[in-house]
Structure 1
Amino acid sequence: MNKLLSFLLSFLFLNVAAQSKITVLKAGEGTPITNATVSCNKKILGKTNAQGVLQFRTKCKKVDVEAPGYYEDEAVVDQVMEIALSKTDPKTQSIEAVVINDKSDPLALEILQKVNDNYQNNSPQSLDSYSFKSYEKISLDIDEDSIKHYNAYLEKRLDSLKKLPEKIQTAEKKKDSTESVNVMKLMSSSKLFLWERASEFLFSKKYGEKINILDNRVAGLKEPIYEMMTLRSNRNRIPREIREENRTLYRFFLTDTIEIEGRQNYVIRFRQVDYKQPVNKRKFNGYLYVDTQTFGLKKIESNSKKKSEGSITSIWKPIDNKWFLSKENLKIKMGSTVFGNTKTDEKKDKDSVNKNLQKFGNYVFMVADYFDFKTQISENKKDFAGYTMSVKNSDGKILDTFRTDSLSAREKITYEKIDSVGKKYKLDQKLNAFTGLIKGKLRLGKVDLDAAQLLKYNKYEGARLGIAAKLNERFHPYLSPDAYLAYGFKDEGWKYGAGIDVKTTLNKNSFFRAEYYNDVMAAGRFSENLWNFKMKIMNSGIDLKNDRFYRYEGFKIAFENDLSNALTFNISAKKDIEETTFDYNFMNLGQKFENFASKITLKYAPKSKNIMTPSGKFTYEQSFPEFYINYEQGMQALGGDFKYSRWDALAQHNFKTKAGVTGIRVYGGLLTGDAPIWHHFAMNGLGSGKDSFNFNLTSFLGFATMEGGKYYNDKFAGFYFTHRIPWYFKTFGKNTSSFDVVYRGIIGDMKNPEYHGFEFQKLDHLYQEIGLESNHFLGTPFNLGFFYRVGHYSTLPFKENFAVQLKFNFLGF
């Protein structure tokens, strides 16, 4: 009897806990809508009462809400929901558009500022430790409301195609036509793409974050897309709609307070600034609930202006007074499947053809549930070993134990049908080619091409065309040979090299490398060992105005290993023949020498996040600070002509405060012993000199106003400081613009400059330039900077001190 009673009480509790409450209001007025219909998959769940409220239970993730005289809308199912419907009468809408100000409510902005200010304190990562699990499902499909219409249309279309006279076609066109029909049939019963993932999240202030992919499966692929596993959500970041830098893109209005699970929440609605209230568009782009006690974000829903274009919803829950993300739901339109007219009348005008087009929207759907939350977990160092993210299983066999939402019949058949399609059309290779671009590679089957080597430019070589190919993991999991060939049109010289990597394990970045090379490089280049693709691209234009190069030919062996997720080291030894390409005489010994040297490089990035993939380590989130150290030792052994020691170091950090976003980069170098000028340090001038206007592309370590190839030191220290003024404004497009104040400086010295028989200057006073950089200039993806030289090296003519600089915004600070 007691067991039966316990069962009944548990059953009653689960049903009450699963109950949802929705309030339906009039947009712009906030008054309730009576008899609004709430339904799921065309099945009516109920109608709202006189207070606009309905309580219901459903397993659906979303419900549709409609009322006579209002535009239909939808809401993500939660315990408490509130939705505002816009009237369909254009005259009424025009009146409402006048009523709503084009300025944000000051109280709403004040609350949002407190959300940002308290974000770190409300974040789960302010706890000592925690753990939770997640189940995520991403798919590409036709909208559910259109599937029946699509199937009916497809059946009629295929019948009409059969009745058309058979055309004489080439074998290739006939094959394309057949494949097109097969894809159309596939879409009638199956999704186009389906991916599921179950994960475990661990966090410790002592050991950091660890994400274990417990299981993973992608329809149509033999192996998971490792780069796709790193896709982020609102889990550990402020939603883009309410970040300070995006405030000018929206207007915010405090409309109500509402009680959810015994806690009071502010209700803030928002809309885009360019929202002009045309017919069939929403009055607001979304809403958010903010906890009145902690100013933690409880819920945000961000919609497109048109309902058909999609929405994103994130819901948080308080645990130990911290706000954990508990649910996400996304629907984004990704183009349309378009069918033309089947008739053969070629005289139809354009308008007539457009009327006969049938479009079915394709959408990306994502649902994510987070559960099994635990705080103050036992912290075992072994649980956090290795890279930030690791894959425990990827065959989908245990996914069912984590699914919070069972697969529909359409989803089940997707795995069966798309798996066969993926095998036939080699989807693995095509998607790998796409993900390779993230790392700067063009993947062609078993070969990776280095995109950064295709075209370069410097003052010595002029335009440099090249090709660098490397056999990837499809050739062999442990062995990876590579080679490159390049030609400079100005110096009319060929450059080439070849090498091989031998991995010691597939679990982390660890390999031996041997290589031969015959190439040229600018004298005094700062070490770029272990730099990522973006940093190298930013620094690639540093020699556009410098022709002081040297040629080097030799052989090198090296070993690289990740000691931990944060620490990487590389040790190498090389034997080179080195010779300048300009008029030079070192200590009256000439301009051609032999060099034998060893080098150790360390990189420390304690907050960056990595994952191991079959093609190697992938840093999916570069976080600061970062530190790079190089030590090179030249030896008079094995034919080496010189004994020297060369040190260089780089540290960079980026952080945000109430005063704005600040970026700091400090670097320096030291050479002891005697060595030719190319083992010293160039001061990285980007300018053209006295007679030309200084316009250049940004570089990682360069100076916009300094003449290229003019200054060399054997010791130096430099800094780069940038601060983004917290004033964000909208110009053109969907980006916000802002201004960065930039201050760069460098100082050093050189002993015995007379040893080097060519014209240059040592830089022994502080060289300084200040600048103002406009981000997303006129809404473009470029930053435009204006710089002026100040201090000891400034000159009287304004033109000589002034420079204009262009930079791609995605390169960062």
Structure 2
Amino acid sequence: MQKIFIFMFAVICASLHSQSKIIVKNAANQQPISGATVKCGRTVLGKTNASGELEFKTKCKKADVSAAGFYEDEVVVDKVMEIFLSTEDPKTKTIQEVTLDNKSDPEALRILREVNNRYRENSPQSLPSYSFKSYEKISLDIDEDSIKAYNSFITRRIDSLQSLPETPMKADDKKDSLESVNIMKLVGSSKMFLWERASEFLYSEKHGEKINILDNKVSGMKEPIYELIAFRSNRSDIPKEIKEENRNLYRFFLTDSIEIDGRQNYVIRFREVGYKKIQNNRKFNGYIYVDKESYALKKIESNSKVKSDGTITSIWKPIEGKWFLVKEDFKLKMGSAAFNLDGDKDEKETEENKKLKKKFGTYAFATADYFDFKTNPETNPKNFKGYSISVENTDGSTINQYRTEELSDREETTYTKIDSLSNKYKLNQKAKALAGLVRGKLRLGMVDFDLSRIIGYNKYEHFRLGAGAKLNERFNKYISPDAYFAYGIYDKDFKFGAGVDIRTTLEKNSFFRVEYFDDVMAAGRFSENLWNFRMKLMNSGVAINNNVFNGYRGFKVSYENDLTNGLTLNVSAKRTTEEALFDYNYNNMGREFDFASSTITLKYSPNSKNIMTSQGKYTYDQQFPEFYFNYEQGYKTLGGDFNFSRLDALISHNFKTKIGVTGVRLYGGLITGDAPIWKNFTMNGLANGRTGFNFNLTSYIGFATMEGGKYYSDKFVGTYITHRIPWYFKSIGKNVSSFDLIYRGIIGDMKNPELHQFEFQKLDHLYNEVGLEWNNFLSSQFNLGFFYRVGHYNTPGFKDNFAVQFKFKILGF
């Protein structure tokens, strides 16, 4: 009998736990709306009472809310929800447009400042350790409200096609037509894409964060696209809607308070700047719920201006005084297709025909449930070894035990139908090709083509055309040969290289490499060993106005190993013959020399996040600080002409304060012993050196106003400092713009410049340039910078000191 009572008590508790409460109000006057209908799909969950409230139970993730005289809206199901409906009455709408205030409520701003000030204190990462699990589901589909209309349209479409008179058709055309119809039918009964993922999150104050992907299941693919693993999440970052620097992008209004789980919460409504009128059925962009006692975030609902364009909802809950994210729900519109319901493509576009068209939106959906929270568990250092993310399983065999809800029939169908479609159209290979583009590679079968080698420009070769290819893991998981060639339009000469990587393990980045090369490069280039693709791409134009080049040919053997997630070691030895490709004579010894040397390279990036994929290591989240160090030693005893030591180092850091985000690069180099000019360091000038307008593309360590190839040093130190002003604004379009203040400085020296018998200058005074960069210039994907030279090297002519610089936003800091 006692067991029966315990069982009944557990059932009652579970029932109470699943109970939800919604409060529906008028957006114009905040008065409750009675009789509002709440639905889960087609199922009516109930109607609100005189207080605008309704309690209900449902397994649905979202609910639709409608009331006579108001625009319909939707809400993510939670224990307590509050929603404001906008009136359909045109007269009331006009009044609301006039009365909307374009200034934020001071009390709302005060509350948000407290949220920011206490965010770290309320965050789980203020704990010594914690752990939890997650179940995430990402899909691509048409909107649920449109599925019935879509299927009806497809049925009529097929019927109309079948009723047309048969016409002679080629076999290929007939096959394409049938496959097109089959795909259209498939979308009616199945999602276009589905990815389930179960993960375990571990955190230690000492060891940082570790994510174990417990299992994956992806429709149409044998393994996930890990390069696309990161999508916008409020799990560990401050939501953009409440960041201090984004205050100018929104207007905030404190409305009332609401009780959730026995705790009082502030409710702050917000809308985007310039959103002064009720448009597209929505007065506000979203709601922020703030716990009154702790000023922690309880919930954020962020909507697009246009209701159909998408929503993002995040929900937190307190666990032992810290606020953990427990639920996320994303819906983002990816595009739409319009179909003519009468099936006549050739008919002219009249008003009547427009009415016959039906639009079906395609959306990306993502839901995440977080559970099994543990605070201050004992941590084992072994659990944090390896990369930031480790993958335990990818076949989906255990995913069912982590699901927080059962798959719908439509989702179940996705796996069977998309898998068969994938085999037919080779979707898995195409997805991997897409992932390769993130790394700067074009993947075709077992060959990866290096996109960075297709075309380039410098002052010695002018246009440089070429190609590079590497055999990937489809050829062999352990052995990967590669080769490249290039041709200079101006010097009319071919360059080439070939090598092979031999992996020692598939668990991490660890391989031997042997290579041969015959190429040219700008003299005195700073080392780019272990730089990632984005950094190299940004610095690729550093020699665009430098015609001082040297040739090099020889071979090299090396070994690279990731000692930890953040520490990489590369050791190498090479034997080369190098010569000056300009008028040069070093210490009356000529212009061509033999070198035998060894190099050790270290990269330390403790906060960057990596994952091992079938294509190799991938850094999906580059974080600062980062440290790069190179030491090269030349040997006479091994057949070289010189004994020398060359070292260089680069430190990059990015940190945020209340006055904005500051980025710093500090770099320098030193060479001792005997060595020709190209073993020394050029100072990376980007200017053309002629009188007139200076315009150039940005580089990682270049100077917009400095003449290229003019200055050389055997020791130097330089810095690049950028500070983003915490003022974000919109000019035109959707992108957000901001301004960066920039300073670049460098100083060096040359001990015996006369030995080089070559015309150059040593940089023995501090070279300075200051600039202002407009990020997302006119809401584009480009940054526009203006720079001016100041200090010792400033000249009387304004044009000589001034430069304009262009930068692709994607290159980042």
Tell me how many residue pairs correspond in the alignment: 813
Question: How far apart, CA to CA, are the structure 1 residues paired with 2:447 and 2:406?
Answer: 40
The answer (yes or no) to whether the contact 2:249–2:728 under 8 Å persists in 1 is no
Give the corresponding residue for 1:532: 532
Residue 370 of structure 1 and its aligned partner are, at CA, apart by 0.1
Alignment of 1:136-215 (within 5 A): 136-215=136-215
Greater mean alpha carbon deviation, residues 577-586 or residues 637-646: 637-646
The answer (yes or no) to whether the contact 2:100–2:277 under 8 Å persists in 1 is no
Give the corresponding residue for 1:740: 740
Equivalent residue letter for 1:780: S
The answer (yes or no) to whether the contact 2:101–2:276 under 8 Å persists in 1 is no
Alignment of 1:1-400 (within 5 A): 1-277=1-277, 280-340=280-340, 346=346, 348-349=348-349, 351=351, 353-400=353-400
Query: What are structure 1's unaligned runs of at least 5 residues?
Result: none
Q: Secondary structure at the match of 1:732?
A: coil
Pick closer, same or farther for the CA change 1:344–1:259 going to 2, 3 Å. closer
Q: Secondary structure at the match of 2:420?
A: helix
Question: How far apart, CA to CA, are the structure 1 residues paired with 2:626 and 2:450?
Answer: 25
Equivalent residue letter for 1:454: I
Q: Secondary structure at the match of 2:537?
A: helix
Question: How far apart, CA to CA, are the structure 2 residues paired with 1:307 and 1:800?
Answer: 52
Greater mean alpha carbon deviation, residues 386-395 or residues 445-454: 445-454
Question: How far apart, CA to CA, are the structure 1 residues paired with 2:276 and 2:350?
Answer: 30
Q: Secondary structure at the match of 1:428?
A: helix
Equivalent residue letter for 1:447: V
Question: How far apart, CA to CA, are the structure 1 residues paired with 2:278 and 2:533?
Answer: 45
Question: How far apart, CA to CA, are the structure 1 residues paired with 2:473 and 2:414?
Answer: 29
Pick closer, same or farther for the CA change 1:156–1:609 going to 2, 3 Å. same
Q: Deviations over 1:189-214 (max 9, x none)?
A: 11111110000000001111100000
Question: How far apart, CA to CA, are the structure 2 residues paired with 1:809 and 1:191?
Answer: 34
Give the corresponding residue for 1:600: 600
Question: How far apart, CA to CA, are the structure 1 residues paired with 2:280 and 2:744?
Answer: 52
Question: How far apart, CA to CA, are the structure 2 residues paired with 1:708 and 1:268?
Answer: 54
Give the corresponding residue for 1:434: 434
Give the corresponding residue for 1:587: 587
Give the corresponding residue for 1:415: 415
Question: How far apart, CA to CA, are the structure 2 residues paired with 1:109 and 1:265?
Answer: 15
Q: Secondary structure at the match of 1:736?
A: coil
Residue 171 of structure 1 and its aligned partner are, at CA, apart by 3.1
Residue 107 of structure 1 and its aligned partner are, at CA, apart by 2.0
Question: How far apart, CA to CA, are the structure 2 residues paired with 1:348 and 1:625?
Answer: 60
Question: How far apart, CA to CA, are the structure 1 residues paired with 2:148 and 2:457?
Answer: 56
Question: How far apart, CA to CA, are the structure 1 residues paired with 2:278 and 2:741?
Answer: 40
Task: Indicate whether 1:753 and 2:762 are aligned.
Answer: no
Question: How far apart, CA to CA, are the structure 1 residues paired with 2:317 and 2:745?
Answer: 48
Question: How far apart, CA to CA, are the structure 2 residues paired with 1:345 and 1:390?
Answer: 51
Question: How far apart, CA to CA, are the structure 2 residues paired with 1:459 and 1:292?
Answer: 64
Residue 162 of structure 1 and its aligned partner are, at CA, apart by 0.7
Question: How far apart, CA to CA, are the structure 2 residues paired with 1:253 and 1:287?
Answer: 9
Equivalent residue letter for 1:723: H
The answer (yes or no) to whether the contact 2:153–2:341 under 8 Å persists in 1 is no
Question: How far apart, CA to CA, are the structure 1 residues paired with 2:341 and 2:55?
Answer: 47
TM-score (normalizing by structure 2): 0.98
Q: Secondary structure at the match of 1:793?
A: coil
Give the corresponding residue for 1:546: 546
Q: Secondary structure at the match of 1:601?
A: strand
Q: Secondary structure at the match of 1:730?
A: coil
Question: How far apart, CA to CA, are the structure 1 residues paired with 2:372 and 2:643?
Answer: 61
Residue 361 of structure 1 and its aligned partner are, at CA, apart by 1.8
Question: How far apart, CA to CA, are the structure 1 residues paired with 2:639 and 2:169?
Answer: 70
Residue 244 of structure 1 and its aligned partner are, at CA, apart by 3.1
Pick closer, same or farther for the CA change 1:46–1:424 going to 2, 3 Å. same
Residue 174 of structure 1 and its aligned partner are, at CA, apart by 2.0
Q: Deviations over 1:78-107 (max 9, x none)?
A: 011000001011111110121211222222
Give the corresponding residue for 1:791: 791
Pick closer, same or farther for the CA change 1:67–1:449 going to 2, 3 Å. same
Q: Deviations over 1:453-505 (max 9, x none)?
A: 11111111111111111111111111111111111112212111111111000
Greater mean alpha carbon deviation, residues 270-279 or residues 646-655: 270-279
Residue 344 of structure 1 and its aligned partner are, at CA, apart by 5.5
Give the corresponding residue for 1:707: 707
Residue 809 of structure 1 and its aligned partner are, at CA, apart by 2.0
Equivalent residue letter for 1:14: A
Query: What are structure 2's unaligned runs of at least 5 residues?
Result: none
Greater mean alpha carbon deviation, residues 9-18 or residues 506-515: 9-18
C-alpha RMSD of matched pairs (Å): 1.5
The answer (yes or no) to whether the contact 2:629–2:648 under 8 Å persists in 1 is yes
Give the corresponding residue for 1:805: 805
Residue 583 of structure 1 and its aligned partner are, at CA, apart by 0.2
Residue 362 of structure 1 and its aligned partner are, at CA, apart by 1.8
Give the corresponding residue for 1:619: 619
Q: Deviations over 1:86-130 (max 9, x none)?
A: 101111111012121122222222222322232222221111110
Give the corresponding residue for 2:460: 460
Residue 26 of structure 1 and its aligned partner are, at CA, apart by 0.1
Q: Secondary structure at the match of 1:184?
A: helix
Pick closer, same or farther for the CA change 1:551–1:764 going to 2, 3 Å. same
Q: Secondary structure at the match of 1:247?
A: helix
Question: How far apart, CA to CA, are the structure 2 residues paired with 1:809 and 1:405?
Answer: 40
Q: Deviations over 1:526-555 (max 9, x none)?
A: 000000111111111111111000011111
Q: Secondary structure at the match of 1:248?
A: helix
Greater mean alpha carbon deviation, residues 137-146 or residues 425-434: 137-146
Residue 261 of structure 1 and its aligned partner are, at CA, apart by 1.4
Question: How far apart, CA to CA, are the structure 1 residues paired with 2:787 and 2:94?
Answer: 48
The answer (yes or no) to whether the contact 1:249–1:734 under 8 Å persists in 2 is no
Report percent identity of matched pairs. 64
Residue 767 of structure 1 and its aligned partner are, at CA, apart by 1.2
Equivalent residue letter for 1:417: K
Equivalent residue letter for 2:752: N
Residue 257 of structure 1 and its aligned partner are, at CA, apart by 1.3
Residue 757 of structure 1 and its aligned partner are, at CA, apart by 1.1
Question: How far apart, CA to CA, are the structure 2 residues paired with 1:307 and 1:372?
Answer: 34
The answer (yes or no) to whether the contact 2:575–2:594 under 8 Å persists in 1 is yes
The answer (yes or no) to whether the contact 1:695–1:805 under 8 Å persists in 2 is yes
Residue 713 of structure 1 and its aligned partner are, at CA, apart by 0.6
Give the corresponding residue for 1:523: 523
The answer (yes or no) to whether the contact 1:248–1:736 under 8 Å persists in 2 is no
Question: How far apart, CA to CA, are the structure 2 residues paired with 1:664 and 1:683?
Answer: 18
Residue 346 of structure 1 and its aligned partner are, at CA, apart by 4.2
Greater mean alpha carbon deviation, residues 243-252 or residues 506-515: 243-252
Greater mean alpha carbon deviation, residues 230-239 or residues 450-459: 230-239
Question: How far apart, CA to CA, are the structure 2 residues paired with 1:807 and 1:120?
Answer: 34
Question: How far apart, CA to CA, are the structure 2 residues paired with 1:773 and 1:101?
Answer: 32
The answer (yes or no) to whether the contact 2:157–2:341 under 8 Å persists in 1 is no
Q: Deviations over 1:587-606 (max 9, x none)?
A: 10110111111100000000
Question: How far apart, CA to CA, are the structure 2 residues paired with 1:463 and 1:279?
Answer: 51
Give the corresponding residue for 2:575: 575
Equivalent residue letter for 2:78: D
Question: How far apart, CA to CA, are the structure 2 residues paired with 1:29 and 1:621?
Answer: 45
Pick closer, same or farther for the CA change 1:538–1:799 going to 2, 3 Å. same
The answer (yes or no) to whether the contact 1:90–1:279 under 8 Å persists in 2 is no
Question: How far apart, CA to CA, are the structure 1 residues paired with 2:362 and 2:794?
Answer: 59
Question: How far apart, CA to CA, are the structure 1 residues paired with 2:659 and 2:273?
Answer: 25
Question: How far apart, CA to CA, are the structure 2 residues paired with 1:521 and 1:279?
Answer: 57
The answer (yes or no) to whether the contact 2:279–2:305 under 8 Å persists in 1 is no
Question: How far apart, CA to CA, are the structure 2 residues paired with 1:281 and 1:678?
Answer: 66
Question: How far apart, CA to CA, are the structure 2 residues paired with 1:364 and 1:771?
Answer: 40
Question: How far apart, CA to CA, are the structure 1 residues paired with 2:416 and 2:584?
Answer: 69
Pick closer, same or farther for the CA change 1:725–1:86 going to 2, 3 Å. same
The answer (yes or no) to whether the contact 1:28–1:100 under 8 Å persists in 2 is no
